[in-house]
Structure 1
Amino acid sequence: MAFRDARTAQQLAELCASLQGGGLPVDPAALIDLIGLLETVKSAACAVQAEASVAYDAARRSAESARGVPARRQGRGVAAEIALARKESPHRGQVLLGFAKVACAEMPHLVARLKDGTLNEWRAMLVLRETACLSAEQRSFVDEEMCADPTALAGLGTRRLVAKVKRLAYELDPKAVVDRARNAAKDRHVTCRPAPDTMTYLTALLPVGQGVSVHAALKRDANTLVAAGDPRSRGQIMADLLVSRVTGVPMSTGEAPPAVPVGINLTMSATTLLGGHAPGLVEDEVVPAEIARLLAAHSLSGDLDTWIRQLYADHRGRLVAMTSKQRTFPAGLSDFLALRGQGICATPYCGAPVRHSDHVVPVEDGGATSAANGQGLCEDCNHVKQAPGWRQRPTDDGIETITPTGHRYLSHAPPPVGWREPRYVRVAPGRYQLTA
């Protein structure tokens, strides 16, 4: 697969310049036309991105094969490069590359519908997801049946589209669909992600029987407490029951949630500690200073083990470095690297939690085990940087990542929560005051 011509990049640059600098039409109908055409442009761009991703993967594998790289290691790191280029996380890069390979190789009509704007990237990926259990021949049949005629998708909502693909998949290979549902239980897991207003989404992916059973048990006991006069809402009681039963802490009786063991890593100035307003940090979630202080006080009043850790920032807002001559990062330094990045992987656009403490410059290349040469990475990013052609180096502005194609991406640790860059503020004619 080859690119259309060498002018593609220039044409896209001119299109971007036109979109950035042009005005909007006055006529309302023309505005709707513009919105629709822009959606078509987005879908067509996704199709070309998919083709370009497949072409780059093939080129990389061909070059590595010529150099004698074993087949099992060819293409390592390609998904991460695509993720950086698209400003996505490494996991998302893997998903996008997988989508591109299957779509371009087995579902040409689906790619055509992307190009003409009949499907967007999300709906196209749903079609692939629902046909993942089918063979290549069966998937091609679904592609022909669903996407060969653009008018067949007109007015078809996402739910109807997914339902239609599911029905076709079951008709083609009912055993594969049943086996897929049976194997889905292996994917059960629990995740935690931040929600607005210092809340958290705790999500459990469970087999339907277990999920319904857990929900029914919580609802039944919550109804009993509501009937007994508990002032909390049914939803609040169910949430408190869940926390109490999972953690083993006593069930609360008032409107406040149960007190639980919580590790609070606070980076704050002395004035904030004594009542200032700069925010605090709980894991990777920024919270107002008062909320952080209340969490600590609630933990103490709940008769729980509480540990207080202090970190110090210099005048530039950077956390104070810690050094060690050991190759394995000591526990304290590992914690420091994770806290410096606020618990988030240091790779640009990657929002995964820190799992590994990594040397920016490898030890075998003379890299020191120090805070200056250390970073917190997720597991995938730590493995990707070991692929041939990947390099990293610390700079004054952060850590520079150089991919096999020579593209450079800069990442740097965020400033401590609540930090304000010192600057001079005019307080009177000819008079300036340094503030932080």
Structure 2
Amino acid sequence: MERMNHFAQGTEAAAGDDPARQLLDAVRTSGPTALAELLGDQGFLLVELATQPSGLFSPASGSSSQYSDVLRRLHEQRAAMDALEMRCIVALADAFREEDRATADADAAQEPDAVEALEETERRAERAAIRDVSMRTRRSPALAGRTLSSARRLVESMPVMLRAVAKGQLSEGAARSTAASVAALTPARREQVDALLGDRLAPLDGCGTEQWRGEVAAAIAESDPEGEARRHAHARQGRSVSVRRGEHGMAVVSARLPAMDAMKIRKRLSLEAERLRASGDRRGHQQIQADSFVASLLGLEDGIDRTDLDLGVIITDRALLNPGCGDLAQIEGYGPITAEAVRAEVEDGLRALTHGAEESLGTDTAAAKLALRRLYTHPTTGELVAVESIGRVFPKALARFIRWRDMTCRGPFCNAPIRHADHIKPHAAGGHTCLDNGQGLCAFCNDKEEQTAAVEREPDSSGHRVTWTSRTGATRGTGPVALTSPLVEAATVDRTAGPAAEPATSPTTPPAAERAPDHAADQGHDQADDGDPPHVADPPGQHDLPHGDDPHGVDEQLPRDST
């Protein structure tokens, strides 16, 4: 704290002899720089205690009540930090807006005919703020956008909830969910909801998340009962389905649906599970529900037409033929999966075709066959090799190559599916249409020239590394998915063969199951939202990050792959 002493000079008369009050007044007077220094000093202290505690956390150092008191203080500090971060995020966005307005006014003074619309200036500033928040806090751009939207509502219209967060009475996640719920309300209505919920904080001190959401819904209905039908109609426009990566080759499918439809689906699956269990099926209740869900959607039940869909799977020849090699496979739009899961899928399809099951598949026999394509990887980085084109638009084969190489959006911390093949160095600035200058991006990140100070390929890196630099100087590097493990490569490449040795290669791409070619287009930016409940979404509001394609600044969209 010694670095802060000079900020406290001149404040003793106003604050008396209380050092904490002197420091508080000094930080308020000195501005963001003083606050950053204070947090830096405190952060250094806490990091040292966490990483090098010495005997601080040994059983002999304290009693259970003492450690419980430390835990209480940590919770209080974390709560205060959450509220402080909300205010800082809003202030950052406002600062970007003022800076961009000043720049636009200066440009307009010199070129009156080239005045930019105020809405466009503010939109660019908002997206730049979202990008900076994403890179500073390691959030995905989508989560950063929703965080900014929620923080703005809390700061501008919900002071009671913001104070509850700061005092540890309400978690940051619950506050963000509450702010998302009131997105469709006017600021005046939000203030009413804020007051109603503030009165309920004490009785709801120990409530769970579901009870709290019920209270939020009741407060919204009480503040604006006439708008309930309108809000429901608006919320229905946000119907969506998303897929999140699970563990050990599993995934979580989430659907945002009207409540009645969702409960009907749940009841139908539950009744089917009970019926099968009563008839002797020994699978668990949840297992039967999951299997019935899959069978219904993929057309495996009687009365529903079978649907075969295209799904790209990349797997090395070693993993396909040898289950013990240790390589992982990659599913397009999902990421790594155990090779054994792919092997089982391939074996099932081949077994059906080689044991006289062609007639049982009927007209779907040809569609059920697996298509294998041979791809080649770099011997050291594991990345797919390059091809080049002189055109501006990435050819279909090259765009597919980029999608296979990058798997998900290459924007820092972004988890969204790839929607566009982007020139790292823009084509208008002399960038070539080649794999080396290409990267897969979602619609939001493809507006990178407006959001960042620079996005550049790292020329000295052994792989395809790209450095993103925000307008405030934050830098983050991103790279593609390595399709083969360097440890496995080290064991398989003949290092004595010299430069002419053939690189370790040939991951193949069997569509082991089928999926519609536009499946990635329908998955929003909400994948892997840092542990948020999958059914919590922020309805579109005044400050919300737009979902779906944004035509502004789009390079080109990936062509549909029907193979």
**TM bucket normalised to smaller:** 0.7 to 0.9
Asked if 1 retains the 8 angstrom alpha-carbon contact of 2:131 and 2:470, the reply is: no
Question: Is residue 2:468 matched to residue 1:401?
Answer: yes
Shift of 1:78: 1.6
- Paired position in structure 2 for 1:43: 79
- Paired position in structure 2 for 1:321: 386
User: What do the CA deviations read for 1:212-236 (whole angstroms, capped 9, x no partner)?
Assistant: 3334444445555555555545544
What is the percentage of aligned positions where both structures have the same residue? 25
Show the 5 A alignment for 1:15-414: 15-22=42-49, 23=53, 24-25=56-57, 26-27=61-62, 28-68=64-104, 69-73=116-120, 74=122, 75=125, 76-147=127-198, 154-230=205-281, 232-249=283-300, 263-268=311-316, 270=318, 273-275=321-323, 276-283=325-332, 284-303=334-353, 304-317=368-381, 318-341=383-406, 343-383=407-447, 385-387=448-450, 389-395=452-458, 396-397=460-461, 398-414=465-481
User: What do the CA deviations read for 1:348-387 (whole angstroms, capped 9, x no partner)?
Assistant: 111111111111111000111111111111111113x131
Question: Is residue 2:44 matched to residue 1:6?
Answer: no
SS at match of 2:170: coil
Shift of 1:390: 3.7
Determine the C-alpha separation between the residues in 1 that align with 2:174 and 2:29.
Answer: 26
CA distance 1:118–1:162, shift in 2 (3 Å): same
SS at match of 1:77: helix
CA distance 1:72–1:277, shift in 2 (3 Å): same
Shift of 1:268: 2.0
SS at match of 1:202: strand
Asked if 2 retains the 8 angstrom alpha-carbon contact of 1:358 and 1:376, the reply is: yes
Shift of 1:345: 0.9
Shift of 1:116: 2.5
User: Which one-letter code corresponds to 1:11 in the other structure?
Assistant: L
Q: Which moves more between the two structures, 226-235 or 123-132?
A: 226-235
Shift of 1:152: 6.5
User: Which one-letter code corresponds to 1:301 in the other structure?
Assistant: R
User: Which one-letter code corresponds to 1:86 in the other structure?
Assistant: T
Give the TM-score normalised by structure 2: 0.67
Determine the C-alpha separation between the residues in 2 that align with 1:210 and 1:78.
Answer: 37
CA distance 1:262–1:419, shift in 2 (3 Å): farther
- Paired position in structure 2 for 1:428: none
Q: Which moves more between the two structures, 27-36 or 370-379?
A: 27-36
Shift of 1:123: 1.8
Determine the C-alpha separation between the residues in 2 that align with 1:319 and 1:407.
Answer: 29
SS at match of 1:49: helix
User: Which one-letter code corresponds to 1:112 in the other structure?
Assistant: R
Determine the C-alpha separation between the residues in 2 that align with 1:4 and 1:14.
Answer: 16
Asked if 2 retains the 8 angstrom alpha-carbon contact of 1:355 and 1:379, the reply is: yes
Q: Which moves more between the two structures, 105-114 or 236-245?
A: 236-245
User: Which one-letter code corresponds to 2:487 in the other structure?
Assistant: R
User: What do the CA deviations read for 1:54-104 (whole angstroms, capped 9, x no partner)?
Assistant: 212112111211222422222233212211111000110111111121111
Asked if 2 retains the 8 angstrom alpha-carbon contact of 1:261 and 1:299, the reply is: no
- Paired position in structure 1 for 2:362: none
- Which protein has greater RCO, CA pairs closer than 8 Å, 6+ apart? 2
Determine the C-alpha separation between the residues in 2 that align with 1:386 and 1:121.
Answer: 32
Q: Which moves more between the two structures, 202-211 or 318-327?
A: 202-211
Asked if 1 retains the 8 angstrom alpha-carbon contact of 2:466 and 2:479, the reply is: yes
User: Which one-letter code corresponds to 1:310 in the other structure?
Assistant: R
Shift of 1:114: 2.3
List runs of 5+ in structure 1 lacking aligned partners. Answer: 252-257, 425-435
Determine the C-alpha separation between the residues in 2 that align with 1:382 and 1:226.
Answer: 50
CA distance 1:145–1:214, shift in 2 (3 Å): closer
Shift of 1:157: 4.4
Determine the C-alpha separation between the residues in 2 that align with 1:223 and 1:48.
Answer: 50
SS at match of 1:415: coil
SS at match of 2:388: coil
CA distance 1:135–1:259, shift in 2 (3 Å): closer
Determine the C-alpha separation between the residues in 1 that align with 2:29 and 2:399.
Answer: 45
Shift of 1:20: 1.7
Q: Which moves more between the two structures, 304-313 or 109-118?
A: 109-118
Asked if 2 retains the 8 angstrom alpha-carbon contact of 1:354 and 1:376, the reply is: yes
Q: CA RMSD in A?
A: 3.0
User: Which one-letter code corresponds to 2:223 in the other structure?
Assistant: L
Give the TM-score normalised by structure 1: 0.85
Determine the C-alpha separation between the residues in 2 that align with 1:355 and 1:277.
Answer: 31
CA distance 1:174–1:250, shift in 2 (3 Å): closer
Match of 1:418 among 485, 507, 514: 485
SS at match of 1:307: coil
User: What do the CA deviations read for 1:101-156 (whole angstroms, capped 9, x no partner)?
Assistant: 11111122322222222222112123323333433223223333433898566445
